[in-house]
Structure 1
Amino acid sequence: MMIVISEFMDETAVASLRDRFEVIYDPALVDERPRLMERVQQADALIVRNRTQVDRALLSAARRLKVVGRLGVGLDNIDVAACQAHKVEVIPASGANAAAVAEYVIGTALVLLRGQYASTDAVIDGRWPRTALLNGRELGGKTLGLIGCGYIGQLTARLARALGMEVIAHDPALAADDPALARIGIRLTGLEELLATSDVVSLHVPLTEKTRGLLGRERLASMKKGAILVNTARGGIVDEKALVELLKAGHLGGAAIDVFAQEPLPAGSPFTALRGASNLILTPHVAGVTQESNKRVSAMIAQRVGEFLAGQGG
């Protein structure tokens, strides 16, 4: 049986698959759609990250395809309904990158609240911007608001609680008496209360029709003055233009954005207006990617895809 891997994967995990299957490992395929479409024609399994579009056209070309392994958890690049129609199993790496995402949220919140870590060049040059940097804020005693409180959100809450934060969450899928909430120390609340009272707001929801544009201009403006927004979920949930305007106006204290409505950012993106801003951290969809998480995610998908194919007679 043949496995096609179209984006980067830990080499040890790739080698483990090669021991049992024919493997085409070519991370360049994600950017070469015609070659990808040709390769998948003989594929029994396809392993992707978040950029390979597993759509109806690809599924129609991949007539032997039995399973798609997702090196991550978001499925918005995979047409799940079409996979079901083609009887193609979809296997995400649930939980394997949670620690990386949770640490990113807490780490960027610390940096943005403190606001003192962009002074390296000034200090090297002999300038001493101490007076300008006396207004840093501590994380302890602040309130973290989680929009979405699944596994990653709950792990983020554990880290936040360990640093002395209060944690509230908005998640219609959870019951107020869910034992996990009491165990960690999370209070469920309405979205409007969360936005109005949180010092740090972190998004942990998938991109769906219900969450698209969830934080538009009005809701962003309703956030507590000086609050920090962290988005490691998906682009399209936050109105990027409104976010930039509220950062420029000083209503929001900062933002760490790892995901965008269009990736990579197009020319003329709203964020261009904040080039060099000390209260903005932009990263290229890597919050869940570390050396450790890549190994965990890759090992999990290699094992589960391998087991699935073995069960199919591979």
Structure 2
Amino acid sequence: MLIVVSEWLASPGPELLAASGHTLCFDPMLWRDPERLRELVAEADALIVRNQTRVTASLLEAAPRLRVVGRLGVGLDNIDLEALQSRGIGLVTARNANAIAVAEYVMAAMLQVTRNLAAADASVRAGKWERERLGGTELWGRTLGLVGVGEIGRRVARRAQAFGMSVIGYDPFIGPYDYAPAELGIRLLSLSEVLAQADVVSVHVPLSPETYHLLDAERLALMRPQAVLINTARGGIVDESALVEALTAGRLRYAVLDVTEEEPLPAESPLRSCSAVLLTPHIAGLTADAQERTSRLVVTEVLQRLAALSVR
């Protein structure tokens, strides 16, 4: 069988695929060439992608042999799920393989905002000794608000509680006796209440028509002036123009964005010139450890799906 990998795949994925006995087409830059991708998937039995390859209905129509798509991550906004289902094509995702990495990133982001050791280091190297200015603040006693209380949100909550933070959350799919409120003590509130009460708001929902610009100007206005917004989910969930306006006007203290609506971030984006934003290139779940787990999990399950098909 032919397996096409259209984006970067960490070890041990390539090694596992090479040893599988299947024909492998592995080109990390294939997603940049839609025509060649279309030609290759015409004969493919499996396709493995990250977040750049657009797995559209049109692409799937060109792939009559395709039986499984592997997604090296958990976000599915680049995949037409209805088209997959209608054609009977299976889907394999990373299923929490990078959840620890994202949770640790959120903690690092909060500590960066409260203590900013890099600024202190730069000050000392410049010959200064600004102890009063660089003392920072604490996480202890502050309130973390989670927009989305799924697997990643729960892992963030446990770590934040270890730092002495109270945790509140909004998630319409979580009930009062589910694990998050019953075992972790996360207080479930409305979205408006979470935004109004939290010192730090961390976003953990998928991008969908319902969540696009979920945090718009009206909802950002509910946040405290000294609050911090952290987004490791998807850029389209936050209205970036409204965010820049709120930060510039001093209605919001700071934002840490690992994701933006357009990636890479365009040169003309106002986020680039906003000093109250810390920007990273979609790396929250990209630790070496997480990529190893993701690669092994997705490739192993794709091979298992193909093996099951071959014995039918």
Q: Single out whichever of 245-254 and 225-234 deviates more from structure 2.
A: 245-254
Count of aligned pairs: 310
Q: C-alpha displacement at 1:187, in angstroms?
A: 0.8
1:245-281 alpha-carbon deviations (Å, 9 max, x no partner): 222222222111111111112231121331xx2x422
TM-score by length of 2: 0.95
SS at the partner of 2:109? helix
1:155-185 alpha-carbon deviations (Å, 9 max, x no partner): 1111111111100110010111224422112
Aligned partners of 2:271 and 2:120: how far apart in 1? 22
Q: How does 1:6-25 map to 2 (within 5 A)?
A: 6-20=6-20, 21-25=22-26
TM-score by length of 1: 0.95
Moved over 6 A (4+): none
Conserved? CA contact 1:161–1:185, under 8 Å: no
The equivalent position to 1:283 in structure 2, one of 266, 277, 280, is 280
Q: C-alpha displacement at 1:116, in angstroms?
A: 4.7
Conserved? CA contact 2:67–2:90, under 8 Å: yes
| Coordinate RMSD, CA, aligned | 1.4
Conserved? CA contact 1:72–1:94, under 8 Å: yes
2:59 alignment partner in structure 1: 58
1:313 alignment partner in structure 2: 310
SS at the partner of 1:255? strand
2:95 alignment partner in structure 1: 94
1:37 alignment partner in structure 2: 38
Conserved? CA contact 1:44–1:66, under 8 Å: yes
Aligned partners of 1:107 and 1:272: how far apart in 2? 21
1:219-238 alpha-carbon deviations (Å, 9 max, x no partner): 11110121110101111111
Q: Which amino acid aligns with 1:305?
A: V
1:298 aligns with 2:284: no
Aligned partners of 1:47 and 1:216: how far apart in 2? 34
Aligned partners of 2:207 and 2:221: how far apart in 1? 21
SS at the partner of 2:29? helix
Aligned partners of 1:92 and 1:251: how far apart in 2? 38
Aligned partners of 2:79 and 2:213: how far apart in 1? 20
1:67-106 alpha-carbon deviations (Å, 9 max, x no partner): 1000000100000111112221111111111000101111
Q: Single out whichever of 238-247 and 109-118 deviates more from structure 2.
A: 109-118
SS at the partner of 2:118? coil
Q: C-alpha displacement at 1:9, in angstroms?
A: 1.2
Aligned partners of 1:300 and 1:29: how far apart in 2? 22
Conserved? CA contact 2:271–2:277, under 8 Å: no
1:114 alignment partner in structure 2: 115
2:2 alignment partner in structure 1: 2
Q: Which amino acid aligns with 2:278?
A: I
Structure 2: runs of 5 or more not aligned: none
Q: Percent identity?
A: 49
Aligned partners of 1:57 and 1:130: how far apart in 2? 60
1:188 alignment partner in structure 2: 188
2:146 alignment partner in structure 1: 146
Q: How does 1:68-217 map to 2 (within 5 A)?
A: 68-134=69-135, 136-217=136-217
